[in-house]
C-alpha cells in the first residue's frame, strides 16, 4: 500500500489518527449538549440541534477548532468541561507500535493538528504523545487549517519537507484532498478513527484499520 523506501517524513494528524476520536465525538456531540441543555433549561435534543447548526456554520474553519470561540459562543467553560471527561482521552491501540517503529527507523515524525493549543496540551498531559514526535504543531499558530492551502505553505516554511517523500495520515478526507492538492505524494486515510463506531468504507485513498501491519516494512526500510 505504501512505498516506505520513498518516505522520509511522516506528517500525522492527532484526533482520530493517533488518538481515539471517541473522546472528541463524545464531548462535542453528547457531553457538551447535555451540559448546555442543563444550564439553558432546554432539552438535550434541542441543545444538540442548536449546537449542530452552529458547528456546521464554521466547519473546516479555524473557528471550528477554536476553544475560545466555543467558550464565547456557548457561554460555557469549555476547557473545564473537557477535563471532566478527560479520562476518555486515549491513544489508539495500534498507535504506540507504529510511532515507535517510525522513530526507530530514522524518519522525521511530525504532528500537525487543527486542535486548539489548549486541547493539544490537555492531550499531551493525558497520553504523553509528545514523546513520539520530533515536532508538534497546532495549525492555530499558522492562522489557517489543514483544509486551506495557506496552511501547507506556512508549515513548509516553518518545517521544510519534500512533498515527494512525505507521508500524510489523517482521518478527514477533505483534509487529505487538501494535502494532495498541495503536492504531498503519499497519503493514508484512517478508516476507524472512533473505536466505538463502525469501520468506514474508504475508496478515495489508501486506508488503514491497524497501523501494526506497517511495522515490519517501516523497520525494514530503515532511514538511519
Instruction: Tell me the pLDDT tens digit for each residue of 22-32.
Output: 999 999 999 99
Long-range Cβ contacts of 159-164 (<8 Å, 24+ apart): 159/110, 159/135, 161/9, 161/11, 161/108, 161/110, 162/8, 162/9, 164/6
Does 47 share its domain with 78? yes
Are 159 and 1 spatial neighbours (Cβ–Cβ below 8 Å)?
no
Tell me which residue has cell 466555543: 70
- Shared domain check, 120 and 168: yes
pLDDT, tens digit (0-9, with 9 covering 90-100), for 163-176? 999 999 999 999 99
Contacts of 53 (CB under 8 A, 6+ apart): none
**Domain containing 33: what range?**
23-87
Residue with cell 434541542: 46
Residue pair 68/76 in contact (Cβ under 8 Å)? The answer is: no
Q: What is the pLDDT of residue 161?
A: 96
pLDDT value of position 223 = 76
Give residue 195's Cα distance to chain centre: 14
Helix 32-40 and helix 44-58, axial crossing angle in degrees, nearest 10: 120
Domain end position, chosen among 39, 65, 87? 87
Last-in-domain residue among 64, 87, 110:
87
Tell me how many domains the chain contains. 2
Question: If you average pLDDT over residues 79-106, what whole number do you get?
Answer: 97
Helix (H, G, I), strand (E, B) or coil at 109: strand
CATH code of 169's domain: 3.40.50.1000
pLDDT digits (tens, 9 = 90+) for 51-76: 999 999 999 899 999 999 999 999 99
Q: Taking residues 178-204, what's their average pLDDT?
A: 98
Residues 171 and 203 placed together within one structural domain of the fold: yes
Is the pTM value of this prediction over 0.85? Answer: yes
Amino acid at each position: 500500500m505504501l512505498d516506505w523506501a520513498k518516505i522520509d517524513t511522516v506528517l500525522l494528524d492527532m484526533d482520530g489518527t493517533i488518538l481515539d476520536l471517541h473522546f472528541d465525538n463524545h464531548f462535542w456531540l453528547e457531553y457538551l449538549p447535555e451540559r448546555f441543555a442543563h444550564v439553558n433549561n432546554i432539552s438535550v435534543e434541542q441543545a444538540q440541534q442548536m449546537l449542530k447548526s452552529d458547528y456546521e456554520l464554521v466547519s473546516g474553519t479555524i473557528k471550528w477548532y477554536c476553544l475560545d470561540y466555543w467558550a464565547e459562543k456557548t457561554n460555557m467553560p469549555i476547557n473545564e468541561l473537557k477535563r471532566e471527561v478527560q479520562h476518555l482521552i486515549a491513544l489508539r491501540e495500534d498507535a504506540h507500535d507504529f510511532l515507535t517503529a517510525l522513530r526507530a527507523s530514522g524518519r522525521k515524525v511530525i504532528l500537525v493538528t487543527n486542535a486548539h493549543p489548549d486541547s493539544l496540551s490537555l492531550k499531551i498531559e493525558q497520553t504523553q504523545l509528545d514523546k513520539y514526535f520530533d515536532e508538534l504543531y497546532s495549525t492555530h499558530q499558522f492562522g489557517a487549517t489543514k483544509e486551506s492551502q495557506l496552511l501547507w505553505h506556512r508549515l513548509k516554511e516553518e518545517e521544510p519537507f519534500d512533498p515527494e517523500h512525505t507521508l500524510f495520515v489523517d482521518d478527514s478526507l477533505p483534509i487529505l484532498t487538501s494535502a494532495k492538492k498541495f503536492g504531498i505524494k503519499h497519503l493514508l486515510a484512517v478508516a476507524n478513527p472512533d473505536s466505538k463506531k463502525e469501520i468506514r468504507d474508504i475508496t478515495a485513498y489508501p486506508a488503514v484499520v491497524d497501523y501494526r501491519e506497517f511495522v515490519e516494512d517501516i523497520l525494514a526500510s530503515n532511514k538511519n
